[in-house]
Chains A and B, each alone.
Chain A
Amino acid sequence: MTTLTRQDLNFGQVVADILCEFLEVAIHLILYVREVYPSGIFQKRKKYNVPVQMSCHPELNQYIHDTLHCVKPLIEKNDAEKVVVVIMDKEHHPVERFVFEISQPPLLSISSDTLLSHVEQLLRAVILKISVCDAVLENNPPGCTFTVLVHTREAATRNMEKVQVIKDFPWIVADEQEVHMQEPRLIPLKTMTSDIVKVSNGMVLCEDYNT
């Protein structure tokens, strides 16, 4: 069993790549399941050996890609605490929030799972849970939009301004309205714990739309 420290950036990059890929799949699936965009722009793709839905719209794909590209350096340095996908109505009030809590163990170790097959299995389970989450959700109002929030430390925020990739795709501090919800309901979906990363996925719903 190989034990690596977080200082091993290569390993950190591997973890960041895995998580960013997963988050991209999850965001596309959330948009499909919650019907944020018409289902016609989605097509079936294969990820983790299971069918998933992915958007074909180039601008949407580019937006999601750029967003996660900026999140990746934070994940590498373990500065990202949460990644949140917020679905808002026309008035930019959050209707639903899909929260991905990310934490990495202090000592990253590669055990017998050198091919990360166990990690893939866990991610597959999370995807499955997202795909059937609308069983407990009501239909969203028409004209909804979405945004991605990253919960990080203040020092990391300052460092983000120096990163060129973030300069090309600037980030702003999120509004309080987008971050906090009134009387929300927390619905845990799935928690995956592996040797390299721990991801807890849950839904926070605004009570106004789910009573």
Chain B
Amino acid sequence: MAESHTWGPCQPSQTVSNVIQNHPHYLPFNVLLFKPPPVNESMGSSQCVYFRMLYHYLDQKRKEGSARLHATYLVSGKFVENGTTSHKVSVVREDQLEDAKSKMSLTVSVHVYSVQKAVLKDSGPLYSADYDAVKENLRNCSRYSAIRCADAVPRSSAEVLQACETTQAPPPETEQIKANHSNLASKPTSKQPKGIMGMFANKNVSKNQDSSKEIKLEQKDDAPVVETSKTKPAAKTNPVSNFFGKQAAKKPDKSIKEEVEIARTSSSVVEKPSSPPPKAETPVKEELAKDAVVEKDIRSKTKRLEHSDSEEEKSESRRMKRRRIKKPEPDSSDDEVIPDSPPRLQEKRDPSPIPEIQVKKEPVAVSHSDELSDCKRRKRRRVLKSCTFVDDEGCIVTEKGYESESYSETEDDFKVSKPTPKNPNPPKPSTGKKEEEKKKKAAAASNKSTKQASITGFFQKK
């Protein structure tokens, strides 16, 4: 901190006397209140010079003893009160000057604030003395300040208007940009936590692969049937799936853009898994309810957006495998429940980025369209479960299939999706391996489910 100092004289007293006598508040015979104005146009000097002149005048007059003058001082410095340190600036009478200086831990500046003949009882006259001058020169107070910066140039009115417009315009744009960025960020975030998305993708792939393997191993007899049955719905849904698939294939890169557009316009149905607006939910629901495979295709293709082509191939193989698995299921009463539809609907409901969609589209996450109402948090999903039965030949067959079950968004519900019970008496030794694989799959599913729950929860919280 600067040492305390008192402004000293810098000009002859005659000049100061002339200045004071010419001051509008000066009456030659009795009343005098002289306070350096904020703007000294006559002198053309800064206020600091004025204070020095005032001090010199006061000192001289007191030495001469010609006039009985009273002065007020401006004291500034460090002030500690209740443990808090602050910079205090106060105007005090001359008889209170020493007291004010003693109260400060460090006195930074002391200078004469005003000179007058009368003993001021309060600060009202000091404020009133230059009230009009301050109001008139309010915008030019710094003109005569000692602080200077040659580069500081006041802006023109046109520039000020432009600045105001730019500050006003961005907010709506920024909101859109935020939405865009949120979607765009989803991409990088999805890419960025490549670990997360990649983990899910990889695990999904691995899980599907495992499931497909298990199904292949266990359902050798049903495999062709499965395949055929799956191909049928696949065939049925092929046009739709192809439609969606084509679109997904066509515009994998534009999904984000579409999200952006949707966020902006909140317009029509988004035919892609990328974030559709809430309005488009119902028509989309209807369309999507028809085709689970389509969703899977979209899933895979949305995943394709983030992952490499090798993964795309994996997804395709997964798709194929999934079709096989789902063949018997369309015959069930869960036609309306298409494994991928609800998550897709969820996706469309939320202006969420792709990674979120992918997460929701994990093989376990499935929900009814009816239950996709905003208020309901209880959803249905398809869970891979194994079903043990005795076939015609008397062999105990354990078949894995998706079954719908309700779950809530909490993690506890995801624990329901535990690994299915093993077949205590595997008909064939190979089933042991199958069981192990099942365990792995189930474990993976459970892990995924738990993780998925956590991640969905994470995204949903957003």
Seen from chain A, the residues whose Cβ lies within 8 Å of a Cβ on chain B are 32-33, 39, 44, 49-53, 121, 124, 127-129, 131-136, 187, 189
Contact = CB atoms under 8 A, between A and B. Distances in A.
A124 B128 contact: yes
A133 B119 CA distance: 10
A32 B121 contact: yes
A135 B132 CA distance: 23
Contacts of A50: 124, 127-128, 131
Interface stretch (B5-13, B29-37, B226-234, B409-417): B29-37
Interface in B104-153: 116-125, 127-129, 131-132
A127 B121 contact: no
A52 B121 CA distance: 11
Contacts of A133: 31, 118
A132 B118 contact: yes
Nearest to A45: B124
Given A33-B121, A51-B124, A53-B124, 15 more contacts: A44-B122, A50-B127, A50-B131, A51-B123, A121-B132, A124-B128, A129-B31, A131-B125, A132-B116, A133-B31, A134-B119, A135-B32, A135-B116, A136-B30, A189-B31
A132 B121 contact: no
Residues of A contacting B: mostly: helix
A131 B117 CA distance: 12
Contact of A124 (B29, B118, B121, B131): B131
A187 B131 contact: no
Nearest to A32: B121
Given A52-B124, A128-B125, A131-B124, A136 B131 contact: no
B117 A135 contact: yes
B131 A49 contact: yes
Given A51-B123, A53-B122, A135-B31, A128 B132 contact: no
A153 to B, nearest CB: 33
A128 B122 CA distance: 12
Interface of B: 29-33, 116-125, 127-129, 131-132
A50 B127 CA distance: 7
Contacts of B128: 50-51, 124, 127-128, 131
Contacts, number: 56
Contacts of A39: 121
A51 B122 contact: yes
A136 B117 CA distance: 8
Given A136-B30, A136-B31, A128 B121 contact: no
Nearest to B124: A51
Contacts of A52: 124
Which of A51, A124, A135, A189: most chain B CB closer than 10 A? A135
Which of B29, B119, B122, B129: most chain A CB closer than 10 A? B122
Contacts of B118: 132-135
A127 B132 CA distance: 14
Nearest to A133: B31
A61 B66 CA distance: 41
Nearest to B125: A131
Given A132-B33, A135-B31, A51 B127 contact: yes
Nearest to B29: A136
Contacts of B123: 51
Q: Top 10 closest A-B pairs, CB basis? A: A135-B118, A136-B30, A135-B117, A51-B124, A50-B128, A128-B128, A132-B118, A131-B125, A132-B33, A134-B118
Contacts of B121: 32-33, 39
A52 to B, nearest CB: 6
Nearest to A49: B131
Which of B120, B121, B132: most chain A CB closer than 10 A? B121
Contacts of B125: 128, 131-132
A180 to B, nearest CB: 23
Contacts of A132: 31, 33, 116-118, 120, 125
A188 to B, nearest CB: 9
B31 to A, nearest CB: 5
B25 to A, nearest CB: 8
19 contacts: A39-B121, A50-B128, A50-B131, A51-B128, A53-B122, A128-B33, A128-B125, A131-B120, A131-B125, A131-B128, A132-B31, A133-B118, A134-B118, A135-B30, A135-B32, A135-B117, A135-B118, A136-B117, A189-B31
A44 B403 CA distance: 82
A39 B122 CA distance: 11
Contacts of A121: 132
B123 to A, nearest CB: 7
Which of A32, A51, A131: most chain B CB closer than 10 A? A131
A22 to B, nearest CB: 14
A29 to B, nearest CB: 9
A124 B130 CA distance: 11
Contacts of A187: 30
Contacts of B117: 132, 135-136
A51 B120 CA distance: 13
Nearest to A50: B128
Nearest to B24: A125
A121 B135 CA distance: 11
A50 B130 CA distance: 11
Which of A50, A124, A132: most chain B CB closer than 10 A? A132
A128 B131 CA distance: 11
Contacts of B30: 135-136, 187
Nearest to B132: A121
Which of B30, B116, B124, B125: most chain A CB closer than 10 A? B124
A127 B131 CA distance: 12
Which of A33, A51, A189: most chain B CB closer than 10 A? A51
Nearest to B129: A128
A198 B409 CA distance: 83
B138 to A, nearest CB: 13
